[in-house]
Chain A
Amino acid sequence: MTTPTKTATRRGALKTLAGGAAAATLPLWARYTHAQTAEPIRIGFQQHRTGIGAAYGRWYGRATEAAVGLINAGGGINGRPIEIVAEDDGTDPKRGAEVVEKFANQHGCHVGFGTLFSHVVIGSAPRAGELKLPYFVVSEGTHVSSGMLNRYTLQPGITDVRSQVIAMAPFITDTLGKKVTMIFPDYGFGYDHRDALAPAIEAQGGEVLAKIAIPPSETSFTKYFPKIPRDTEVLYHVMVGPAVLTFVKELGEFFGGQGPELFGFIDSLEAVAIDSPGLDFLEGSHFWEGMCRHQQPDESAHETFYREAVGVDARGASVNDPADVSTYGHMFGCWETLHVIKAGMEAAGYRGPQDRAALIEAVEAMTDMPHSREHPQGAKRFNGKTHQVFGHQYISQVQNGTLTRVHTTAIEDSAYPDMVDYTTQAF
């Protein structure tokens, strides 16, 4: 007896709801149709404000702010200013994907940008692809060029781990030693190191003796160090997360200055002052740097401009607080990516979301990016098929407590065969 009444009520409710909501969204449609002319270009900035990537997030934010200030002061993109819409992803893939949805569906962003940690990129990229939101990551992971992601995901502002490792392996074997043990985070970014280093070292006649993986949330590292084989000549270390300083300190305590040669990724020391107490043992050791944290005597005018614009002193710390050390080896990626977005949008004659595919095609068509104010880290070459940029790598040695550049690799040194051709994928 109650069933017919219930059906009728539900239908009624449905109609009312549908009508009400359609009416409620009408103003949104109107706003959307005339959002073409001088309205800002809204760029969704997926920022690691909290979680294990927070130090990077803070500095990615500053580099982004500086780049946007510069672009807007120069007339913006096609005369339209950039507006950054920052959302915290908590350095978490679930939240990351939600944030991407928020950019596309709630904030009306034209593109998404700025993600660093691999798991957040990989968790978010499928949603960016489904929502057809161009997603410019600044992650270093090889996941873009591996073909795992989609046509909407690009990495034009920072080189990937595989290319970095390939470029540097000859220096390690020729200068430091041929028997290498690696310590890396038990995490996607670390796997890129793990998978790329052994073949690169072997190609130079060297050998990787042991691969020691450490979970990124680890807080004590002493139990891992006894696993390092005694005949190790070079200890290759890369670590991320909040405990990097503990890691490096415990490494020093374990070897007490008597151990193998150390070759580290600056990731192990990002946002950490190299003259922190207990790090003296790093004197003489080598580091990969995406960009030289300590000002070099021959620093280019472009880099000096960039350093000043972001507010970083000659030691790589904030000009306002010498204890606030930047993530200098990575954050240039935000600056450069924003300039690539600008160049791409201008080349595509970008007007709004209907031109997103044209924007991606315009970026895919890019090749050489000369060393300039837009690309202060150095010249780069973009591979439109793999959506990955290639560039110079810097190796520095700690000399008198200062990271001094001792070697620069050529762009060609970092090349590897294409693993994907994203341009064959439909939009």
Chain B
Amino acid sequence: MKALVLHLGLLAVLLALHFVLPAYHHGNLARIMVLASFAMGYNILFGYTGLLSLGHALFFAAGMYGMGLSVQHLGLSAGPALLLGVLSGAVVSGALALLALRTSGVAFMIVTLMFAQAGYLTILHFSEWTRGDEGFVLALAGRMAWGVDLSDPNARYIAALMLFGICLMLSLWLVRAPFGRVLVAIRENEERVRMLGYDTFAHKLAALTISGTMAAAAGAAYGILFGYVGASFAAVQYSILPLLYVLLGGAGTVLGPFIGTLFMFYLIDLSSGITTAYMLIAGIALVLLTLFAPQGIMGELRRRLWKGLP
């Protein structure tokens, strides 16, 4: 109950902030919520199942391009395009899971990285359709969902909050359900879980598909809400970013990805105003955090204050 109150409380605070934040931070928070949804997807696989993927940019891009190409070339409106984006993410992550889960450990990391790179190059290769690295702008008509103009700052914030809310509550429910318990058990000792009679492959398959679909939902939403689709979102850095967000915030905590995204976003935003070497500042912050709070911000909180934090 306490956990439910905490998570609903965060959503309430985010809703309240909608009315009070100045325009710049209001826009930033909308971005952060979408990126945090991406990180929450990543967390299901990495934080709870213990599978370190280096290819989540592929799923983010699958969602973004599934949505974007259907707006651009099929003339769909935002609603159906968004669903198509989520669907493409589910298909791509399901297919990748079938192949990549034949491996484990370092090999899994390499296979996911390679598939994501292949996805990136595919986008560049079909540049006649995708406009490659340059990308394309989504027409305003394609950003209308069920009569709501998602380019409007208020609608954008609420849409981002809805996506974030769904991902957050889904994550919370998932990790506390028997299915999520099995995922955690797989993370801790896969052999033992298998000996207990669980089909670990099926569980990992489901975890990767859910994780990829969530990432795709974030990708599709990002494209719709900010009006641009481009190959840079499929590049390797978008596989690394969710990992950083999750590590910073606390892997295996439901709120960790949000805290990590928030922290990282503002760290870069503020430090880039001071120096061009802002990634160095981000790097130092990461090193310090790894040294002094290796379980991330929320992980540390769980260790010190609240043992039962999901």
Whether B134 contacts A119 by the Cβ 8 Å rule is yes
Whether A6 contacts B131 by the Cβ 8 Å rule is no
Whether A127 contacts B226 by the Cβ 8 Å rule is yes
Check B196 for interface membership: any CB of A closer than 8 A.
no
Residues of B within 8 A of A216 (CB): 133
CB B159 to nearest CB in A, in angstroms, measures 14
Whether A93 contacts B136 by the Cβ 8 Å rule is no
CB B225 to nearest CB in A, in angstroms, measures 10
Q: In the complex, which of the residues A6, A87, A130, A187 contacts B133, with contact meaning CB atoms closer than 8 Å? A: A187
Check B157 for interface membership: any CB of A closer than 8 A.
no
Check B63 for interface membership: any CB of A closer than 8 A.
no
Check B23 for interface membership: any CB of A closer than 8 A.
yes
Whether A21 contacts B20 by the Cβ 8 Å rule is yes
Q: In the complex, which of the residues A20, A90, A130, A191 contacts B127, with contact meaning CB atoms closer than 8 Å? A: A191
Whether A88 contacts B276 by the Cβ 8 Å rule is yes
Whether A126 contacts B138 by the Cβ 8 Å rule is yes
Residues 233-267 of B contacting A (Cβ, < 8 Å): 233
Interface 9-mer from A96-104, A285-293, A319-327, A390-398 = A96-104
Whether A25 contacts B134 by the Cβ 8 Å rule is no
CB B152 to nearest CB in A, in angstroms, measures 8
Residues of A within 8 A of B79 (CB): none
Residues of B within 8 A of A92 (CB): 232
Interface 9-mer from B24-32, B92-100, B210-218, B300-308 = B24-32
B21 nearest in chain A by CB position: A21
The interface on chain B, measured as residues whose beta carbon lies within 8 A of the other chain's beta carbons, has a size of 42
Given contacts A10-B12, A17-B20, A106-B24, contact A122 B132 (CB under 8 A): no
Q: What does the 1/0 interface line of B84-123 toward A look like (CB < 8 Å)?
A: 0000000000000000000000000000000000000100
Check B3 for interface membership: any CB of A closer than 8 A.
no
Check B310 for interface membership: any CB of A closer than 8 A.
no
Given contacts A6-B5, A105-B27, A130-B227, contact A188 B132 (CB under 8 A): yes
Whether B272 contacts A87 by the Cβ 8 Å rule is yes
Whether B228 contacts A126 by the Cβ 8 Å rule is yes
CB B148 to nearest CB in A, in angstroms, measures 15
Residues of A within 8 A of B21 (CB): 21
Check B147 for interface membership: any CB of A closer than 8 A.
no
Check B151 for interface membership: any CB of A closer than 8 A.
yes
Check B168 for interface membership: any CB of A closer than 8 A.
no
Whether B131 contacts A191 by the Cβ 8 Å rule is yes
Check B202 for interface membership: any CB of A closer than 8 A.
no
CB A52 to nearest CB in B, in angstroms, measures 10
CB B146 to nearest CB in A, in angstroms, measures 20
Check B135 for interface membership: any CB of A closer than 8 A.
yes
Whether B127 contacts A213 by the Cβ 8 Å rule is yes
Q: In the complex, which of the residues A13, A20, A94, A125 contacts B232, with contact meaning CB atoms closer than 8 Å? A: A94
Report Cα–Cα, A10/B9, bound state, in Å: 8
Report Cα–Cα, A88/B136, bound state, in Å: 22
Q: In the complex, which of the residues A87, A118, A127 contacts B227, with contact meaning CB atoms closer than 8 Å? A: A127
Whether A25 contacts B138 by the Cβ 8 Å rule is no
Q: In the complex, which of the residues B24, B121, B226 contacts A105, with contact meaning CB atoms closer than 8 Å? A: B24
Report Cα–Cα, A106/B22, bound state, in Å: 9
Given contacts A49-B276, A98-B31, contact A119 B232 (CB under 8 A): yes
Q: In the complex, which of the residues B13, B16, B228, B278 contacts A93, with contact meaning CB atoms closer than 8 Å? A: B228
Check B124 for interface membership: any CB of A closer than 8 A.
yes
CB A125 to nearest CB in B, in angstroms, measures 7
A118 nearest in chain B by CB position: B134
Given contacts A87-B272, A188-B133, A188-B134, contact A122 B228 (CB under 8 A): yes
Residues 76-120 of A contacting B (Cβ, < 8 Å): 87-88, 90, 92-94, 97-98, 101-102, 104-106, 118-119
Check A415 for interface membership: any CB of B closer than 8 A.
no
A143 nearest in chain B by CB position: B134
Residues of B within 8 A of A143 (CB): 134
A192 nearest in chain B by CB position: B134
Q: In the complex, which of the residues A50, A102, A186 contacts B124, with contact meaning CB atoms closer than 8 Å? A: A186
B151 nearest in chain A by CB position: A130
Residues 127-150 of B contacting A (Cβ, < 8 Å): 127, 131-138
Whether A50 contacts B20 by the Cβ 8 Å rule is no
CB B289 to nearest CB in A, in angstroms, measures 22
CB B253 to nearest CB in A, in angstroms, measures 22
Check A332 for interface membership: any CB of B closer than 8 A.
no
Q: 14 A-B Cβ contacts within 8 A?
A: A2-B5, A6-B5, A10-B9, A17-B19, A18-B19, A18-B20, A25-B22, A87-B273, A88-B272, A118-B134, A122-B230, A123-B232, A127-B227, A187-B132
- A→B interface (CB under 8 Å): 2, 6, 10, 13-14, 17-18, 20-22, 25, 28, 49-50, 87-88, 90, 92-94, 97-98, 101-102, 104-106, 118-119, 122-123, 125-127, 130, 141, 143, 148-149, 186-189, 191, 213, 215-216
**5 A-B pairs closest in CB distance:** A188-B134, A126-B227, A21-B20, A105-B24, A105-B23
